[in-house]
């Protein structure tokens, strides 16, 4: 693999992580789930049992109560394993709150922000780069 090919994979995986973040903040759960492989493993940073499979991941997203949220992803580090596999780590900061009835800015939740880490296994598929594993954890208690 050439250095240019490695950098291209790093950029593609970083873009996947950012696309997921924007879809999540837009509450576009179908777009979020589509970024996983059909048999992916996902665990939210807030914990709970891991969820296996794109359909189950989508079901979990659809079951979430509505909230105002904004994720910030930082310190993305991609390690290319081979031309079809990469591992990535990133820091996540989640600001959340409740929408207000008058259409104004949401009120920030007292538990916000939450700070955690995602550890990802990413694979190249016919659909493009997708999460095969996305394991979240919190770095500080709320």
Instruction: Please give the model's pTM, rounded to 2 decimal places.
Output: 0.93
Counting the structural domains of the chain, the total is 1
112, pLDDT greater than 80: yes
**pLDDT of 110 strictly over 90:** no
Where do runs of H (alpha helix) occur along 26-62? 29-34, 54-62
Which band of pLDDT confidence, cut at 50, 70 and 90, is reported for residue 102? confident
Round to whole Å and give the CA distance between 23 and 8.
22
pLDDT of residue 74: 97
- Within 8 A by CB and 6+ apart from 30, the residues are 58
The mean per-residue pLDDT over the stretch 66-71 comes to: 89
Average pLDDT of the residues in 74-98: 96
| Neighbouring C-alpha atoms within 13 Å toward the C-beta of 103 | 0
| DSSP character string of 19-34 | HHHHHHHTT-HHHHHH
Segments forming the whole domain that contains residue 90: 3-138
CATH number at residue 77: 3.10.450.50
């Amino acid at each position: 693999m050439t250095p240019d090919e490695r950098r291209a994979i790093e950029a593609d995986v970083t873009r996947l992580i950012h696309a997921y973040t924007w879809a999540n903040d837009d509450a576009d759960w179908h777009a979020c789930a589509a970024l996983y492989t059909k048999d992916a493993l996902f665990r939210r940073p807030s914990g709970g049992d891991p969820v296996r499979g794109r359909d189950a991941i989508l079901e979990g997203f659809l079951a979430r109560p509505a909230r105002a949220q904004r994720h910030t992803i930082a310190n993305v580090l991609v390690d290319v394993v081979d031309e079809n596999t990469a591992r990535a780590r990133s820091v996540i900061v989640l600001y959340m709150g409740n929408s207000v009835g008058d259409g104004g800015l949401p009120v920030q939740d007292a538990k916000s922000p939450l700070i955690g880490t995602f550890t990802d296994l990413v694979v190249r598929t016919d659909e493009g780069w997708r999460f095969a594993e996305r394991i979240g954890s919190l770095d500080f208690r709320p």
